[in-house]
Amino acid sequence: MLRHALRTFIRILFSLLTRLDVQGLENIPKHGPAILAANHVSIIDAPLVFMLLERSDATGLVADKYLKNPFLRWLVNRVRGIWINRESADFRALRVAVEYLEQGGLLGIAPEGTRSRTATLSPAKTGVAFLAEKAARSIGSPISIVPIAISGTDQAFHALARLRRARVQVRVGSSFTLPALEKEGRGEALQHNTDEVMSRIACMLPESYRGTYAGHPRVLELVASRFHS
């Protein structure tokens, strides 16, 4: 009940304050475990993604710095958010996240670990690839990862100050899985899988948002394949 009311309220706000363009929602699995991996350029990204999700078992990893805010603490707990300490390797949070995926849940994560101060992609942490590997081994099958590219939210407050509505785009890509990690060369393989996640996000973003990954060979390959498809 609370989840539905929140989604409705947030949807009304976005319709009033932004010009929202969403494509690819059909790529989000309707059931079963999956990871949503999205770039993060504004504090309104999480509410935006939450608003778009129809599944009642969707949640996400949330920085524990927001525990200091009583309202946000209550709200995140009510939607079963998973608190994580982004300043360290928070294995407790990762364990809870794996358990959530084992139960068939939908889990949202920002691979970069925090909000980009430049609104462009910054080097990602290996958490998503690590989590996907752990969950896949536990469940016995690869975990679907759904890339989500968000642009325009970084301009929302500037536009509002000028009494304008910012153009916000959300692109949801096709789900994919990552190859299993072997013991030999594990670190390199983990980084390769992380780059694959970020490349899938980057290729759906406007070029000005691609940041660190703008010239990555995999991004260029994916952009070319989308252009010629």
Domain ranges of the chain: 2-228
Q: How many CB atoms lie within 10 A of CB 70?
A: 8
Please choose, from the candidates 41, 53, 40, 43, the residue with its C-alpha nearest in 3D space to the C-alpha of residue 6.
53
Rounded to whole angstroms, the Cα distance separating 139 from 33 reads: 9
Rounded to whole angstroms, the Cα distance separating 179 from 189 reads: 9
**Sheet of 82-84, strands arranged across:** 18-23, 166-172, 144-151, 34-38, 106-109, 58-63, 82-84
pLDDT for 229 = 55
- For residue range 63-112, list pLDDT tens digits in order: 888 888 887 888 888 888 899 887 777 888 889 999 999 999 999 999 99
Q: Do residues 11 and 120 make contact, with C-beta atoms less than 8 angstroms apart?
A: no
pLDDT exceeds 90 at position 214: yes
User: DSSP letters of 155-216?
Assistant: GHHHHHHTT--EEEEEEEPPPB--PPPPSTTHHHHHHHHHHHHHHHHHTTS-GGG-GGGTT-
Q: Which amino acid is at 116?
A: S
Tokens of 217: 């060979």
pLDDT for 228 = 59
pLDDT exceeds 70 at position 165: yes
Rounded to whole angstroms, the Cα distance separating 131 from 9 reads: 32
Q: Which fold has domain 2-228?
A: Glycerol-3-phosphate (1)-acyltransferase (3.40.1130)
